[in-house]
């Protein structure tokens, strides 16, 4: 039986549609799902994690990524320990504390920041405090316990020979500072670069300069042992995807600023430009230098852990800088 030309075209269209749907389903089925936990929402440091989604980098690498911001590193760590997240971002010493408590996880890469660029201890412009020593016995706002801000606050207090009260506030520390609930706060770039130029706040200590003699990683990607075992290629692909997204932002300032405007819900071009120039350009997910990691892990003492395992045992092999 010979079909008419019109019928043949219709059959071919149906066959093409079926093949396209089948191919799409195959690609979807081939994608590996990962649940990513970030310690805070709306932080410029983590913008490449979202750029990788918008730019299709995850999809290109065969990943389907679900991103969840938490209210502090402690909450992210609890989710990883409970099986609610596969990979999280937190200070290496926080991972050390979790591992010491029996959580099965490993560091799979450091970054997005490799140094505490634009991290500050901040006070209001009219605060009587002139140096960190003036904060003796006072409350310093941090997002959560056992996170980068918590350990940095305690590090700064020890260096100044004082004691402070790190006060967990679940992410937003600037508003409670303005309301007088705390006397100082640890601020990351998203707040510091907005507040410092305005004169609304002052920096008592810039962590990058203060810690130059004690280099440390402010954050790292940590994955559960289960996901490393079941999806090793996907874990590595995620870290590489964030690096690729970082490079995309660094090479295209206009795109970076345009994305940051949406991501940070900010229209201040000067602020967005500062964020790109002082934060995005310094980001670099990379292999782990074990010497710097060892220095980073010294901060775990503020989480009550002093008997640490060998740093190399905490890092997956391919992430170690050779």
Instruction: State the pLDDT at residue 295.
Output: 87
Q: What is the pLDDT of residue 30?
A: 72
Residue 156, in any domain of the structure: yes
Statement to judge: residues 148 and 173 lie in one domain: yes
Quick check: 221 and 285 in contact, CB under 8 A? yes
Looking at the structure of the chain, the number of domains it has is 2
Closest CA to 246 of 109, 89, 41, 55: 55
Same domain, 227 and 96: yes
> What 3-state class would DSSP assign to 23?
helix
Q: Is the residue at 2 inside a domain?
A: no
Which of 210, 236, 266 is where one domain is finished?
A: 210
Q: What pLDDT is recorded for position 170?
A: 82
Distance (Å, rounded) from C-alpha 242 to C-alpha 253?
Answer: 17
Structure confidence at residue 4 (pLDDT): 52
Q: What is the pLDDT of residues 238-285, one digit of tens each?
A: 999 999 999 999 999 999 999 999 999 999 999 999 999 999 999 988
Full residue range of the structural domain in which residue 66 is found: 31-114+217-275+283-319
5 within a domain of the structure (yes/no) = no
Sheet with 120-124: strands ordered across: 165-168, 139-142, 184-187, 120-124, 201-206
**Residue 23, in any domain of the structure:** no
For residue 216, the SS3 value is: coil
Task: Report the C-alpha gap between 193 and 21 in whole angstroms.
Answer: 47
Radius of gyration (C-alpha) of the chain in whole angstroms: 23
> 39 with 96, same domain?
yes
Asked if 110 and 124 sit in the same domain, the reply is: no
Q: Alpha helices of the chain — where are they, by DSSP H?
A: 5-30, 47-54, 57-60, 73-81, 92-100, 148-160, 174-178, 189-198, 207-210, 225-230, 232-251, 253-263, 269-278, 290-297
Residue 314 and residue 225 share a domain: yes
Regions in the chain scoring below 50 on pLDDT:
1-3, 7, 10-12, 14-29
* The last residue of a domain, from among 192, 210, 228: 210
pLDDT digits (tens, 9 = 90+) for 84-109: 999 999 989 889 889 988 999 999 99
Residue 25 in domain: no
Q: Do 64 and 125 belong to one domain? A: no
Q: Which residues pair with 222 in a beta bridge?
A: 88, 107
pLDDT for the residue numbered 8: 52
pLDDT on residue 21: 40
Residues 233 and 267 in one domain: yes
Tokens of 8: 């043949």
Same domain, 129 and 179: yes
pLDDT at 241: 97
Q: Which pLDDT score is estimated for 22?
A: 39
- Residue after which a domain boundary falls, among 156, 188, 210: 210
- Residues 158 and 302 both lie in one domain: no
CATH number reported for the structural domain that contains residue 133 in this entry: 3.40.190.10
* Statement to judge: residues 53 and 96 lie in one domain: yes
Task: Find, among 229, 233, 223, 219, the residue nearest to 85 by Cα.
Answer: 223
Give residue 13's pLDDT: 53
pLDDT at residue number 306: 81
pLDDT for the residue numbered 321: 87
In a domain, 128, yes or no: yes
Do residue 137 and residue 152 come from a single domain? yes
**Same domain as 152, residue 110:** no
202 domain residue, yes or no? yes
| pLDDT value, residue 186 | 97
- Structure-derived torsion over alpha carbons of residues 82, 87, 92, 93, reported in degrees to the nearest 10: -10
Task: Examine residue 18 and state whether it is found in any structural domain, yes or no.
Answer: no
């Amino acid at each position: 039986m010979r079909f008419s030309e019109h019928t043949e075209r219709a059959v071919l269209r149906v066959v093409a549609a079926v093949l396209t749907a089948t191919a799409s389903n195959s690609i979807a089925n081939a994608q590996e799902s990962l649940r990513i936990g970030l310690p805070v929402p709306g932080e410029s440091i983590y913008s490449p994690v979202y750029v990788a989604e918008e730019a299709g980098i995850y999809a290109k690498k065969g990943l389907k990524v679900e991103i969840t911001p938490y209210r502090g590193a402690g909450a992210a760590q609890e989710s990883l320990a409970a099986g609610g997240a596969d990979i999280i971002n937190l200070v290496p010493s926080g991972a050390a504390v979790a591992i010491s408590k029996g959580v099965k996880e490993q560091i799979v890469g450091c970054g997005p920041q490799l140094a505490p660029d634009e991290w500050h201890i901040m006070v209001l412009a009219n605060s009587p405090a002139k140096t960190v020593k003036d904060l003796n016995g006072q409350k310093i706002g941090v997002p959560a316990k056992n996170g980068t801000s918590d350990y940095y606050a305690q590090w700064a207090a020890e260096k100044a020979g004082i004691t402070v009260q790190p006060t967990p506030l679940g992410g937003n520390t600037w508003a409670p500072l303005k309301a007088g609930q705390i006397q100082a706060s640890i601020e990351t770039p998203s707040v510091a670069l907005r507040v410092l130029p305005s004169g609304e706040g002052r920096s008592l200590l810039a962590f990058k300069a203060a810690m130059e003699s004690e280099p440390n990683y402010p954050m790292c990607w940590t994955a559960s042992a289960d996901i490393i075992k079941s999806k090793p290629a996907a874990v590595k692909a995620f870290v590489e995807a964030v690096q690729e997204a970082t490079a995309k932002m660094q090479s295209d300032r206009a795109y970076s600023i345009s994305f940051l405007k949406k991501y940070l819900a900010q229209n201040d071009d000067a602020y967005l430009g500062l964020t790109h120039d002082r934060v995005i350009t310094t980001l670099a997910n990379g292999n782990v230098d074990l010497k710097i990691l060892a220095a980073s892990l010294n901060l775990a003492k503020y989480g009550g852990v002093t008997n640490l395992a060998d740093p190399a045992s905490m890092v997956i092999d391919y992430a170690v800088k050779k």
